[in-house]
Copies of this chain bind each other. A is one copy, B any other.
């Protein structure tokens, strides 16, 4: 970290309202705008800073440029008792994925498990959001997606052929669901954007220069580099497999066909996702499962520590704490983003964030 820019705290009620109004002004029907605002605000609350209001200027630009279909006909084809293919008709990813998750939950209720593939969708925010939906319904949720830009290369490669293709897994507990959400890169690209926005330097090893193999630490120069995979060849292999099962399986984009939606506002991305729901009660009673999960989490949290660590954090723990804190204290909005949002509000002739 070199310097931190000023970060305002804005009540989520205000950020959510701005998102919804902006999306309506950019052309979305009101209920769709409200649904997107709800999910983007959930990202803001749970600390997925690269996925909430941060994305609003880009989404609004894309809606205006015709990159999103404002009135999609999201079509679900159930191809078997446990499989469905959702065609998002190039609608906002949040709408498409909400629909796919509901379908997966409904089918898993009937068939025990369901695998729902999605094509012709778009960026849908943090992976954990969708894995959590089955978990909130007493199921196990798994979600994977093809990222909306290729920032990675295969391990050893210098070409942008892989995305940070995320994987999320969520299970219910006696308390809030346990949500594991990881990018297959060392860090998610949203984190790189956050560093850029806040004027911070990246640690060594996140990005390497495609020509020299040297580390790049200035986020503004990251375009000349390749984002490195988590766990070297392991993250690279996992990103590939996710690309095949969330993209190619559904007839969605992968590899050379992926559009960099950060640079292109009007082409259809043909984003692919996969969501899996598994009804726990078909294996063990739900209460047995959650009680056992709670017991194991207590064991992990109570574990002796290695020197240099102050606590064991289980997946989603920071997320739950973050949600509470931000619901109380507001969503952090760094000054440069606030300026972008003010500009956007003026363009769309809606009430600016700080007047809400």
Contact = CB atoms under 8 A, between A and B. Distances in A.
9 A-B pairs with least C-beta separation: A80-B112, A83-B112, A156-B309, A82-B82, A230-B231, A231-B231, A113-B115, A79-B282, A157-B303
Chain A: number of interface residues, binned into ranges: 35 or more
Taking chain A's interface residues, is the majority helix, strand, or loop, or is none over half, making it mixed?
Answer: mixed
A295 B296 CA distance: 44
Interface of A: 79-83, 85, 108, 110-115, 117, 140, 153-159, 161, 169, 171, 178, 180, 182, 186, 208, 210, 212-213, 226, 230-231, 233-235, 237-238, 240-241, 243-245, 248-251, 254-256, 276, 278-280, 282-284, 288-289, 292-293, 295-296, 299-300, 303-309, 311-315
Nearest to A244: B171
Given A82-B82, A157-B306, A248-B292, 4 more contacts: A79-B112, A85-B282, A156-B313, A180-B241
A303 B161 contact: yes
A85 B153 contact: no
Nearest to A230: B231
A215 to B, nearest CB: 12
Contacts of A85: 282-283
Contacts of A161: 299-300, 303
A245 B81 contact: no
